A and B are shown apart, each in its own frame.
Chain A
Amino acid sequence: MTDTEVQVGDLVEPRPEEALETEQRVDRVTVIRPSPRRPHLDVPELWHYRELLGRFVWRDIKVRYKQTFLGVAWALLVPIFSAVVYVVVFGKFANFPAGNVPYAELVLSGLLVMQYFTSSLTGSGVSLVTNMALVTKVYFPRALLPLASAIVPAVDFALGLCVLLPLMAYYGSWPDGPEVILAPLFLGLAFVTALGAGFLLSAVNVRYRDVPHMLPAFLPILPLLSGVPYAVQEIPEKWQWILAFNPMTAVISGWRWAVLGAGAPDWGQVAVGVAVAIALFVGGLAVFRSSEPRFADTI
């Protein structure tokens, strides 16, 4: 095995040119102290680790469809298949109200956002346990893991748009006007909601492995509670206000309004959804940050 023989001395010879590399060579002082009582999100630190965040996202995207036969086509097939089922079951048989938008378009637009949300939530909810080997062996801000898991499904979402756009062309329904620029904001609301819940669940999952069992029980009914197979504006107002406490209701109706030119959502209801999403994010983050110091001990 002489070809693989290595000289230990090779790697430790100090190389003068590297001593000049200021980026790493400045005296970096690491202070180790008890975790602060009041948890907060250390944004400068997250910024410092941005490259690792990118690396985690890249890793998960890379391995997402490895060793699959259809590969990335799944990102298109899953929403198409689900949309067909929804159209047949809820559109044809149950006659759910669609408002002023073709039913297939209504369902597909809702499903894409919903699938982004469920993937983000599931991924970030189990992210710490999935990456247990990292959590117990090396330091980095733990928030990177749920954060990366909430970003990765955006790729599937973007691919899913490749199904939605031809459908919009087919029905000739284009965004009505300038409100289309608000579309990213509604997607951002889905991201914030998923991440907030993801922070909470991933921290809980470190101690109690109930999360992966709980999610499949809860997630299948979520589309029905978020207006995926119907237009929220078309149902009795009392129910609209109850559904408003689910931020995904605001996300889906707002997204349809911005992109498909569907009826505008009730802004009061949207405000409720946003408030719930922010509360979820702040609460989830607080739980995450306060249990973060013990992750490696309890996981």
Chain B
Amino acid sequence: MPVAIEAQGLSKSYRIGELQAGYGTVRESLVHATRRLLGREHRHHHEEIWALKDVSFEVEKGEVLGVIGRNGAGKSTLLKLLTRITTPTEGRAEIRGRVGSLLEVGTGFHPELTGRENAYLNGSILGMKRREITRKLPDIIEFAGIETFMDTPVKRYSSGMHVRLAFSVAAHLEPEILLVDEVLAVGDAEFQKRCLGRMEDLGESGRTVLFVSHNMQAISQLCDRAILLDHGHVVREGSSGEVVAQYLQTVGGTGSSRTWTDLASAPGDDLVRLRSVRVVDDNGALIDAADVRQPLGIEVAFAVLRDGDPVLPKIKVYDSRGEVAFNAMDTSSRWDRPSAPGDYTATAWIPGNLLNEGLASVDVGVCSLGAPKLRPHAGCNDAVSFHVQDPGEGDSARGLFTGQWKGVVRPLLEWTTEERESLTSGPPRRQRV
């Protein structure tokens, strides 16, 4: 198979100072320069970090390659290099064929220009020739479904119309190679879904696609192969199933269980020390990934070493972006009195249909109640992590929807609907014609 994208040792470094202060005033620069001249400031703020280091891969013509990795792993940088928005510091890549990207939908729309004018402008920016746009314009208009508004300035469009026109222009670019960044392909749910649908069709029609996503389900479904980026390096390359599995295991850095064999060095004080923390399913079996619909347990084993204050176990659960999803502690009366020295295993049961998809991490602790704060005796931050996954069978909160589903929690709510006859439709029980 001919190769469509070939990357060899692609690397990109940023100076940290540049990232922190994107731009300053001339004065600030002069101040820094003067300080450096006087020897009062060292050049340490020009330290370089590698957003991407020595990345090599090949994508064959007609292949759909997924790129996954944590935030900051270098995925967006890779796309920026391949679309030539920025240049690599080292290495090279060759792309054979016409490139289109879905990370620039609607880029360059001018609010004062009409829909038609913007179609030409946007098309030119994406690399289409005027003749080509003129020829495709009827299709573009039809696809966007905004025939009557083509001569209205875009500033009067609703955001939905805006996105439809933008997507329609991008969709008619007919690239041989498509670069897609899910994170940047902003838009409503409908649009996200259309992007995914389009990707699938593109893959089937023999176009080459490079797909960057956090949506593991989409990756395993759409991609033949995938690469896993971590700290700017390719750490795994293979079939998308394998790579996704590894990502789910390693991401977060902590596994779903942790054990301290030596009680003396385990987290804790002279009253309580941790023994182990595990993520378990409802049978008590260790799991890495949990079905979003199923309950799971956080099992905290600890030892009480002597008689003392009453203690109780608590957990704190974070979502993949580091937001606190919730705090929980065991408020049952069994912890009201001091616990006798010995080993305890407490399990917090997190119900199904509560956490959203993604990686959750857990802090655990054993504390005594005290005002105004809880007094921790033994604790471990980021003790375990686990993945919440949705198999997409339609009986979770997202139903059959496949796009991005925001929120820290994702409860499956009970809905009630009342239907009333409209007042204008005449007396009850009569059908409108």
A138 and B124 contacting across the interface, CB-CB below 8 Å: no
CA distance A131 to B125 in the complex (A): 12
B22 and A298 contacting across the interface, CB-CB below 8 Å: yes
CB contacts (< 8 Å) of B98 on chain A: these are 24-25, 28
B344 at the interface (CB under 8 A from A): no
B93 and A32 contacting across the interface, CB-CB below 8 Å: yes
**Contacts A3-B145, A11-B198, A12-B207 given; does A134 touch B108 at CB 8 Å:** yes
B126 at the interface (CB under 8 A from A): yes
A37 at the interface (CB under 8 A from B): no
**Contacts A6-B194, A12-B202 given; does A34 touch B26 at CB 8 Å:** no
CA distance A286 to B315 in the complex (A): 59
Nearest-Cβ distance from residue A10 to partner chain B, whole angstroms: 7
Q: Which of A24-47 contact B (CB under 8 A)?
A: 24-25, 27-35
B81 and A32 contacting across the interface, CB-CB below 8 Å: yes
B318 at the interface (CB under 8 A from A): no
Contact flags A163-192 to B (C-beta < 8 A → 1, else 0): 000000000000000000000000000000
A34 and B90 contacting across the interface, CB-CB below 8 Å: yes
Nearest-Cβ distance from residue B121 to partner chain A, whole angstroms: 6
CB contacts (< 8 Å) of A31 on chain B: these are 92-94
Contact flags B195-207 to A (C-beta < 8 A → 1, else 0): 0011001100111
Q: Which of A84-137 contact B (CB under 8 A)?
A: 131, 133-137
Q: Which of B86-123 contact A (CB under 8 A)?
A: 86-99, 101, 103-104, 107-108, 110, 112-113, 117, 120-121
A234 at the interface (CB under 8 A from B): no
CB contacts (< 8 Å) of A131 on chain B: these are 108
CB contacts (< 8 Å) of B172 on chain A: these are 11
Q: Which of B23, B171, B205 contacts A209 (CB 8 A)?
A: B23
Q: Which of B18, B25, B117, B197 contacts A208 (CB 8 A)?
A: B25
Nearest-Cβ distance from residue A119 to partner chain B, whole angstroms: 18
Contact flags B167-211 to A (C-beta < 8 A → 1, else 0): 010011010000000000000000000100110011001110000
Q: Which of A23, A24, A29, A138 contacts B107 (CB 8 A)?
A: A138
B104 and A138 contacting across the interface, CB-CB below 8 Å: yes
Which residue of A has the minimal Cβ distance to B99?
A30
A6 and B86 contacting across the interface, CB-CB below 8 Å: no
CA distance A59 to B172 in the complex (A): 21
B23 and A206 contacting across the interface, CB-CB below 8 Å: yes
CA distance A294 to B17 in the complex (A): 14
Q: How many residues of A contact B (CB 8 A)?
A: 53
Nearest-Cβ distance from residue B90 to partner chain A, whole angstroms: 6
A138 and B125 contacting across the interface, CB-CB below 8 Å: yes
Which residue of A has the minimal Cβ distance to B109?
A133
CA distance A110 to B91 in the complex (A): 52
CB contacts (< 8 Å) of B29 on chain A: these are 208
Q: Which of A62-70, A151-159, A223-231, A255-263 contacts B (4 or more CB under 8 A)?
A: A62-70
B93 and A136 contacting across the interface, CB-CB below 8 Å: no
A140 at the interface (CB under 8 A from B): yes
Contact flags B70-86 to A (C-beta < 8 A → 1, else 0): 00000000001111111
Nearest-Cβ distance from residue B261 to partner chain A, whole angstroms: 48
**Contacts A4-B164, A12-B205 given; does A59 touch B110 at CB 8 Å:** yes
Q: How many residues of B contact A (CB 8 A)?
A: 64
**Contacts A33-B88, A55-B121, A293-B86 given; does A133 touch B94 at CB 8 Å:** no
CB contacts (< 8 Å) of B81 on chain A: these are 32
CA distance A15 to B225 in the complex (A): 27
Nearest-Cβ distance from residue B382 to partner chain A, whole angstroms: 32
B104 and A8 contacting across the interface, CB-CB below 8 Å: no
A29 and B95 contacting across the interface, CB-CB below 8 Å: yes
A8 and B197 contacting across the interface, CB-CB below 8 Å: yes
**Contacts A12-B205, A139-B84, A207-B23 given; does A32 touch B94 at CB 8 Å:** yes
CA distance A59 to B109 in the complex (A): 10
Nearest-Cβ distance from residue A278 to partner chain B, whole angstroms: 26
Which residue of B has the minimal Cβ distance to A32?
B93
A138 and B92 contacting across the interface, CB-CB below 8 Å: no
CB contacts (< 8 Å) of B95 on chain A: these are 29-30, 32
Count chain B CB atoms within 10 A of each CB in A27, A33, A294 and give the residue with the most: A33
B129 and A23 contacting across the interface, CB-CB below 8 Å: yes
CB contacts (< 8 Å) of B198 on chain A: these are 8, 11-12
B23 and A34 contacting across the interface, CB-CB below 8 Å: no
CA distance A85 to B359 in the complex (A): 69
Nearest-Cβ distance from residue B153 to partner chain A, whole angstroms: 8
CB contacts (< 8 Å) of A4 on chain B: these are 145-146, 164
Which residue of B has the minimal Cβ distance to A293?
B87
B94 and A29 contacting across the interface, CB-CB below 8 Å: yes
CA distance A32 to B177 in the complex (A): 15
CB contacts (< 8 Å) of B205 on chain A: these are 12-14
B24 at the interface (CB under 8 A from A): yes
B130 and A30 contacting across the interface, CB-CB below 8 Å: no
A9 at the interface (CB under 8 A from B): yes
A34 and B89 contacting across the interface, CB-CB below 8 Å: yes
Q: Can you list the 8 inter-chain pairs with the closest CB atoms, starting with the nearest?
A: A4-B145, A139-B84, A8-B197, A55-B124, A33-B92, A293-B87, A32-B93, A30-B95
Using CB atoms and an 8 Å cutoff, list the residues of chain B in contact with chain A: 10, 14, 18, 22-26, 29, 80-99, 101, 103-104, 107-108, 110, 112-113, 117, 120-121, 124-126, 129-130, 132, 139, 143-146, 164, 168, 171-172, 174, 194, 197-198, 201-202, 205-207
Further contacts, 6 of them, CB under 8 A, given A11-B143, A32-B82, A59-B113: A28-B96, A33-B93, A34-B88, A52-B124, A133-B108, A210-B25
